Amino acid sequence: MKTLVLSENAPDTARVAAQIIRSGGLVALPTETVYGLGADGLSEAAVDRIYEAKGRPKDNPMILHVTGMEQVEALCHHIPRCAYTLAEKFWPGPLTMILPAKDHIPKRTTGGLSTVAVRCPDSAITRQVIALSGVPIAAPSANLSGKPSTTTAQHVLHDHDGHIEAVIDGGACRVGVESTIVDLTQEPAILLRPGGITPAQLRSVLGSLTVDKAVTAELSADEVAKAPGMKYKHYAPQCQVVIVDGSREAAARYIHRHYQKGDRVLCFEEELPLYRDCDPLSYGLEADVQTLSAGLFAALRELDDPAVHMVYARCPVGDGVAYAVQNRLKKAAAFQIVNGEEQL
């Protein structure tokens, strides 16, 4: 199959992409978070093709991408008032809400759950494709399952060229980490995955919010993840990643003591001079966490190389967008974290 590369600005792009979606095909779509691998979310056969292309476990449900709350009303019941307030404040944007699913949504889409995830993305071309296709678009991150997410059309082609009908090239993603997921079927609401909408922003609407354990720690084999995807290996390059916490100086001392040829250091741009001899790769500025979230997955994909033996990674502190970066890096590192201060 030849994969079409459609420009987001070409006049025909939305129409061509919507036609592919309507006929059961796959289109990779740009969003402000990451590129999604889109298909008709109401067609079991189309959604099956997403699972196949990604190698995604069948119990890991999809997010349905919609144009707004009118479309959510056709997909969900018992929608609480706060869902409307959240949508008013944060849509289009990087927020996914879990709500009770109506019966016509295929179990393939919901991973067999009675709830469904919905989000309205902040990409004009992608909203146009949703509107023209006339269906909610199921779109998980377009990476092969387990690998770092796709934040450019080139990442998508690297993973899927020749296996999907089209990708819309909308440039590099602005947020760079996947959407915040909040479960509104429980009281208080539960944060299942941190993202571009921060816990403080959610609390400003919801009052209280609890945080699912899978956000900050590895679940044991017998624990059930509330977001099924959270129990799987995620975002990881081929080699082991270790996060080195602590002050800049303590972390540098620890890394220099352990570094061996073939290892890489994933650090902040401000730290590059400290690691001149350690093959460093910067993923953004510590002083501007937005650059870290935008750059993280491209960096992890670059480190996904058999020549790399081990990655020492620096992780930002903080509870806003930094919280989402911490979550993704911890998962990429399978929660292997050392504190440079304690290892002196």
- The footprint of Mg ion (CB under 5 A) covers 141
The strands making up 264-267's β-sheet, listed across from edge to edge, are 280-282, 264-267, 310-313, 240-245, 337-339
CA proximity to 168, closest of 185, 144, 190, 152: 152
Q: Is the CB of 115 or the CB of 293 nearer to ligand AMP?
A: 115
CB of 229 to ligand AMP, least distance (A): 2
DSSP state of 101: B
Cα dihedral value 79, 42, 117, 130, nearest 10 = -90
Q: Which residues bind ligand AMP (CB under 6 A)?
A: 60-61, 63, 98, 110, 113, 115-117, 140-141, 178, 181, 192, 226-230
User: Of the two residues 40 and 263, which places its CB atom closer to ligand AMP in the complex?
Assistant: 40
- Beta carbon nearer to Mg ion, 80 or 146: 146
From Mg ion, ligand AMP, none, which one binds at residue 191 (CB under 5 to 8 Å depending on kind)? Answer: none
DSSP 150: P
Does residue 92 have a cis bond before it (omega within 30 degrees)?
yes
Provide the minimum distance between the beta carbon of 258 and Mg ion in the complex, in angstroms, as a whole number.
Answer: 31
CB under 5 to 8 A by kind: which of ligand AMP, Mg ion, none does 278 bind? none
- Pick between residue 264 and residue 328 the one whose CB is nearest to Mg ion: 328
Name the residue whose CB lies closest to ligand AMP.
229
Rounded CA-CA distance 54/50 in Å is 6
Question: What dihedral do alpha carbons 214, 137, 108, 56 form, nearest 10°?
Answer: -50
Question: Residue 56 CB, nearest distance to ligand AMP (Å)?
Answer: 8
Residue nearest to Mg ion (CB): 141
Residue 228 or 246 with smaller CB distance to ligand AMP: 228
